[in-house]
Amino acid sequence: MSECGGRAGGGSSGSSDDAEEERGGGGVPAGLGSLSAAPAGASSVDRLRRGLRGASLMARRRPELLCGAVALGCALLLALKFTCSRAKDVIIPAKPPVSFFSSRSPVLDLFQGQLDYAEHVRRDSEVVLLFFYAPWCGQSIAARAEIEQAASQLSDQVLFVAINCWWNQGKCRKQKHFFYFPVIYLYHRSFGPIEYKGPMSAVYIEKFVRRVMKPLLYIPSQSELLDFLSNYEPGVLGYFEFSGSPQPPGYLTFFTSALHSLKKDYLGTIRFGVITNKHLAKLVSLVHSGSVYLHRHFNTSLVFPREVINYTAENIYKWALENRETLLRWLWPHGGKSLLLNNELKKGPALFLFIPFNPLAESHPLIDEITEVALEYNNCHGDQVVERLLQHLQRVDAPVFKSLAPEPPAQLLDPPLITVSPCCNTVVLPQWHSISRTHNVCELCVNQTAVGISSVSVPQCSFLEMAAALDSFYLKEQAFYHVISDSMECSNFLSSYSPFSYYTACCKTINRGMTGLIDSEPDGFKFPNIAFSSLEKECEVDTPGSIPHIEENRHVFPEVDMNSTNFTGLSCRTNKTLNLYLLDSNLFWLYAERLGAPSTTRVKEFAAIVDVKEESHYILDPNQALMKFTLESFIQNFSILYSPLKRHLIGSDSAQFPSQHLITEVTTDTFWEVVLQKQDVLLLYYAQWCGFCPSLNHVFIQLARLLPADTITVARIDVSQNDLPWEFMVDRLPTVLFFPCNRKDLSVKYPEDLPITLPNLLRFILHHSDPASVPQNLANPSTKECLQSETVLQQGHISHLEREIWKLRAEISTLQRAQMQVEAQLSSARRDEHRLLRRQQTLEKQHSLLQLHSEQLQALYEQKTRELEEVAQKLQELADASENLLTENTWLKILVATMEQKLEGKDGGENLTPPEEVHSDYPEPSGAPWLLGSTPPPANISSPLAAERSNENRTD
């Protein structure tokens, strides 16, 4: 009852407030007053309402502050939008990968880098080749065709998988980190990876894959054993008995050691073989099953010490690698910057043999010949085993090992390998010594090798075959110089053009007087029991008699002998021991050309000896075939004390220098013709990298114009591109040498301390070109005509020199006029420079003043900015104080209105209540209820008055 009564009283009070507002009494609306006086625990909605009402009030009271706040908010929103909405980076997304190999290719192409799938298919295959590539890599693109070619040959046995390891979303790019492309990995079942680093050629890749597929070579017979041991590569043999079990103990370990060898050495220089026959094993000192044998040609062969070293695959390979013996070594330059050749050349003189090599070929006749040369060259102690291996390589039946199998029946024997054709001709050699009265007459026959079972028969001798036979015979003819016997001496030698042909020469010594019978006999000459047919006329014309002979200086150097006995063990009898290296000319012919091989040659065979210590190299004559005989002669000529070999000189092509220039350009080929054969020569040594050499060009050009070309030649040579004999080389650049006519051995060097100028060069030439005192011929004394001709010649020289002097004076006057013009231009330029300098100084002063003024303005701007900030802060404080005053004013108005209402109520209630009961000092009891919408009563209202008001309301 009291609550409802209190609300009603409040309502009447609110209505009286509205009436007062309408009367214009200056009061504040009741809503704003109630919001301002809301308790602290009001809701957020109430606080929002209060803020909106306060904002509307501020807009009515201070509209400029509201506009500033709105403008500031808009600027803040624009700044946030500009900074947060930056333009996106313009980057073209990567294109999705495409297939690197064609759909018909036998290579499985995982062009999205599915490494997990590659691992899955690898576990299901026995031998797998993984080709990691990058689509943009040029080497990967070049190797693609080679991989496809190898895969077409081995796809039925090996799984070829190509993986794109560059796609950024593929697993290969995320898991593998390669430093180069392409990369080839091979896996043999669970063993791997075996990385291949050899040439990116199909035949080499196929050869390596086949080695991984079959790392062990099965050796069933004595012939196969000799083939294995006579190879130039080191060999490791394992003996295992398979009769007791399908996999004898230690076999898998030996098999894995062969794979370890391929993993460590991609060239596969160590060959692994398996012997299952105990009789064959005894020939190489293997008795117990599981034994391992390392063959060495010149040192003692070894058996793996199982008692000392653990029998593991890694230990077997390391043992073989540490104890192997290198006879020949293959070099595989990778084409980039490398110290491979430099490190090998530091070891001593090197013999580089460039041969065309096919790794897939079953036999290599040329390598067998080179192996023979290497074995004989290093066989210092005449080892019998090495001799037997040499006989096996030469296919000579002289067995050292006892035959293991019984003799086969006669009907099972192989047919003879050699069938003799009736192609024979007579060759007459000149006398082997100037005082000899004898000649060697030889019957030269061409023999063909049988292929398989059916022999190759040549019914009629062709001219080309006979010419090839003569070609090889002339290379070998030194071996027949010393045939001084009445009996026939026959010998065989290989063809230089075909490994399937060899030649037979049967020679006999006859007197010189009998040669006339041979020459005069048109139908031929018959020795006792030997028939010779005359060589055809056209053969004599086309016989290559101009082929240089390797041993043409044999009689000058009698210590050189062609006998192979003197060649055996030569490496131990000389201080110039050679290291032998093999290079595939199909891949590295560029190195051969830089060593001196001709660029236009049909057969890419070349041999060169390089001696870095002596700064020289020698080449085998390219016109001679690369064979055992020529190599032995080449090595012997290099090994003797006074070698007849001439240092090979590399020079520029003389055709690129025209002959009509004032200065003659000299090369290696033209040095002898220009410098040592003609008149007086002044030669300038220069190089492209020499900085002082180009400054002398104008001096030598003027010198060439002054001197008569028919008496003195002015020449120059680029020593960086042209080699010369040591006696004609110089130790500094530029250097000037003068070679006087007919006295080339008295060449004079231009003084180093004298400047190279035109007058100095003229004095130097005139001083050294005067001929020595020539003895006069008494039979033809000087006559008056000779004196007159000499006078005319001198006058001609004088007139020529006067004309040259006049030309020089005219040039000097022209140069003086040009000098005056240049000096005038320089003075004008100096004046302009001074004027520009003064202007620059003035501008610099103005710039400094402007800079000082700018600094002052900047300081003033900063000061005004600080003052404005202070004023803005004070204005903000005033605004806050004004808001507080407005709030207090509102409260005061409310209190005044309340007091007025109270006073009006007091005047109306005087009739009911005595005036003495009203007192303003007594507050109203705190428990009195408030009417809804009314303001709280002021604190200074007396409690008796409140009691009377409550009684009055109760009475109403």
pLDDT value, residue 41: 46
pLDDT average, residue stretch 173-194: 90
Query: Could you read off the pLDDT of 105-141 as tens digits, one per residue?
Result: 999 999 999 999 999 988 888 999 999 999 999 999 9
- 205 touches 148 (CB < 8 A): no
pLDDT of residue 494: 65
Q: What is the pLDDT of residues 620-657, one digit of tens each?
A: 888 888 888 888 888 888 888 877 888 777 777 665 66
d(CA 443, CA 428): 9
Identity of the amino acid at 657: F
SS3 of the chain: helix, strand, coil, percent, to 5: 45, 15, 40
37-95 pLDDT, tens per residue? 444 444 555 665 666 566 666 666 666 666 777 777 787 777 766 666 555 556 777 78
User: SS3 string of 763-797?
Assistant: HHHHHHCCCCCCCCCCCCCCCHHHHHHHHHHHHHH
CB contact at 8 A, 285 and 342: no
When pLDDT is cut at 50, 70 and 90, the band that residue 945 belongs to is very low
Identify the CA nearest to 352 among candidates 662, 550, 593.
593
Q: In what order do the strands lie in the sheet with 418-429?
A: 418-429, 438-449, 501-511, 489-494
Domain spans, the chain: 108-205, 215-326, 328-333+341-382+568-648, 424-448+461-510, 664-767
More confident residue, 884 or 78: 884
Q: Give the pLDDT mean for 722-747.
A: 83
Specify whether domain 215-326 bears CATH 1.10.10.10.
Answer: no
Q: How many other CB atoms are there within 10 angstroms of residue 659's CB atom? A: 7
Q: Cβ contacts of residue 944 below 8 Å, gap of 6+? A: 917, 918, 919, 922
**Cα 524 to Cα 515, 530, 535, 932, distances in angstroms:** 12, 11, 9, 158
How many other CB atoms are there within 10 angstroms of residue 57's CB atom? 15
What does the pLDDT read at residue 110?
Answer: 93
The two structure tokens encoding residue 654: 């003389």
pLDDT of the residue at 430: 60
Whether 152 has a pLDDT exceeding 50, the answer reads: yes
Confidence band, pLDDT 50/70/90 cuts, at residue 935: very low
User: Is the previous residue joined to 734 through a cis bond, with omega within 30 degrees of 0?
Assistant: yes
| The domain made up of 108-205 is a member of CATH 3.40.30.10 | yes
Predicted pLDDT of residue 555: 36
- The pLDDT, as a whole number, for residue 502 is 65
Environment class of 811 (CB within 10 Å of its CB; exposed 0-12, middle 13-18, buried 19+)? exposed
Q: Which of 39, 27, 34, 35 is nearest to 901 (CA)?
A: 27
Whether the CB-CB separation of 703 and 714 falls below 8 Å is answered with: yes
Residue 752 sits at φ, ψ, to 5 deg, of: -75, -30
Q: Which two tokens stand for residue 451?
A: 């292929």
Task: Single out the residue of 156, 165, 162 nearest to residue 144, CA to CA.
Answer: 162
870, pLDDT greater than 90: yes
CATH architecture for the domain at 328-333+341-382+568-648: 3-Layer(aba) Sandwich (3.40)
Query: Could you report the per-residue pLDDT of 344-403, keeping only the tens digit for each?
Result: 888 889 999 999 998 888 888 888 888 888 888 888 887 778 888 877 787 755 444 543
Residue percentage of the chain with pLDDT more than 70: 67
Tell me the pLDDT tens digit for each residue of 682-715.
889 999 888 888 888 888 888 888 888 778 888 8
Q: Give the N- to C-terminal CA distance of the chain in Å, as an integer.
A: 15
| Mean predicted confidence (pLDDT) in 736-755 | 84
pLDDT attached to residue 423: 65
Question: Does residue 766 have a pLDDT over 50?
Answer: yes
- Whether the CB-CB separation of 198 and 267 falls below 8 Å is answered with yes
- Residue 542 has a pLDDT of 35
CB 253 within 8 A of CB 265: no
Report helix, strand or coil for 14.
helix
Overall average pLDDT of the 762-778 stretch: 61
Q: How many residues does the chain have?
A: 956
Q: Could you give the dihedral angle defined by the CA atoms of residues 719, 722, 725 and 729, in that order, rounded to the nearest 10 degrees? A: 0
Mean pLDDT of the chain: 74
Lowest mean pLDDT among 352-366, 758-772, 866-880: 758-772
Closest by CA to 280, choosing from 323, 331, 333, 227, is: 227
Of the candidates 637, 698, 690, the one whose C-alpha atom is nearest the C-alpha of residue 663 is: 698
Q: Could you give the 3-state DSSP secondary structure of residue 169?
A: coil
In the block, which residue shows the tokens 């430093």?
179
Contacts with 38 (C-beta within 8 Å, 6 or more apart), sequence order = 46, 50
Which tens digits make up the pLDDT trace of 262-282? 888 877 788 899 998 888 888
Q: Give SS3 for 857.
A: helix
Integer Cα distance of 745 and 764 in angstroms: 17
d(CA 738, CA 748): 5
The Cα-based distances of 870 to 62, 865, 873, 874 in angstroms read 20, 9, 5, 6
Q: What's the 3-state SS for 74-136?
A: HHHHHHHHHHHCCCCCCCCCCCCCCCCCCCCCCCEEECCCCHHHHHHHHHCCCEEEEEEECCC
Nearest to 186 by CA among 150, 151, 160, 149: 160
Residue 681's beta-bridge partner residues? 713, 739
- Burial status of residue 923 (CB atoms within 10 A of its CB: 0-12, 13-18, 19 or more): middle
| 686 touches 731 (CB < 8 A) | no
User: How far is Cα 584 from Cα 587, in angstroms, rounded to an integer?
Assistant: 6
Torsion of Cα atoms, 255 then 257 then 260 then 262, to 10°: -60
pLDDT at 955 over 80: no
Single-letter amino acid code for the residue at 778: L
Sign of the alpha-carbon torsion through 794, 796, 802, 808: negative
**What CATH number does the domain located at 664-767 have?**
3.40.30.10
Give the pLDDT of residue 658: 60
- CA dist 931 → 11, 14, 203 (Å): 6, 8, 111
User: pLDDT at residue 32 above 70?
Assistant: no
- Tokens read off for 102: 């064609």
Most confident listed range (245-249, 770-774, 844-848): 844-848
Each residue's pLDDT tens digit, 552-585: 333 333 333 444 557 888 888 888 889 999 999 9
What are the backbone dihedrals phi and psi of residue 884, each rounded to the nearest 5 degrees, phi first?
-65, -40
H/E stretch holding 294 reads strand 291-295
Average pLDDT over residues 319-336: 86
pLDDT of res. 931: 37
Residue 67, φ and ψ in degrees, nearest 5:
-65, -40
Cis peptide before 193, with omega less than 30 degrees from 0?
A: yes
Instruction: From residue 880, give the alpha-carbon distance in Å to each of 70, 353, 874, 888.
Output: 18, 103, 10, 13
Question: Is 215-326 in the same CATH topology as 108-205?
Answer: yes
Q: What pLDDT digit, counting tens, does each position of 505-559 carry? A: 777 766 544 434 334 333 333 333 333 333 333 333 333 333 333 333 333 333 3
